[in-house]
């Protein structure tokens, strides 16, 4: 799982990543958390919220090492981020959490090995502005409306079916 992302608008909450990880472990998954060194607080937050054990690899992999790891995964769950796109490029089944605008521009084109989950939130949860037409400076998540249950169902489908 890759819970980090460059923009907090596209960051799914750590407790939801934790719920997905906890659901995969009984099926035989080994949960690995990836991230750049600066994303360690996010990966640590996910690990702390999990009931099952997760291995935190944040800051420990080169880009090549990350690509090699992702190529061996039965499923990768990630925010819309570089590592999600690397996972798709190396053939890993992916479950991506996208803000709608980004999914249209950068989402995977085929569904055989990918399951995108979109949030259609356009209004800032703090000030109510429609950020398409009137951007604001608040940094709240726009993808937190995506449920852990729907992402878990996709992750289990890909994990068990491929």
Model pLDDT for residues 18-38, shown as the tens digit of each residue: 999 999 999 999 999 999 999
pTM of the full structure: 0.93
Model pLDDT for residues 73-130, shown as the tens digit of each residue: 999 999 999 999 999 999 999 999 998 877 666 767 667 889 999 999 989 989 999 9
CATH architecture of 8-161: 3-Layer(aba) Sandwich (3.40)
How buried is residue 113: exposed, middle or buried, by Cβ count under 10 Å (0-12/13-18/19+)?
Answer: middle
In the chain, where the domains are located: 8-161
Residue 99 CA to residue 2 CA, distance in Å, equals: 16
């Amino acid at each position: 799982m890759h819970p980090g992302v460059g923009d907090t608008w596209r960051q799914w909450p750590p407790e939801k990543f934790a719920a997905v990880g906890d659901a995969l472990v009984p099926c035989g998954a080994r949960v690995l958390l990836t991230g750049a060194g600066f994303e360690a607080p996010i990966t640590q937050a996910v690990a702390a919220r999990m009931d099952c054990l997760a291995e935190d690899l944040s800051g420990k992999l080169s880009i090549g090492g990350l690509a090699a790891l992702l190529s061996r995964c039965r499923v990768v769950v990630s925010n819309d981020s570089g590592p999600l796109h690397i996972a798709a490029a190396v053939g890993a089944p992916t479950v991506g959490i996208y803000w709608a605008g980004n999914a249209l521009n950068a989402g995977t084109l085929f569904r055989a090995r990918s399951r995108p989950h979109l949030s259609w939130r356009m209004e800032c949860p703090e000030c109510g502005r429609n950020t398409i037409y009137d951007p604001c400076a608040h940094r709240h998540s726009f993808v937190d409306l995506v449920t852990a249950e729907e992402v878990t169902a996709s992750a289990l489908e890909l994990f068990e079916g491929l």
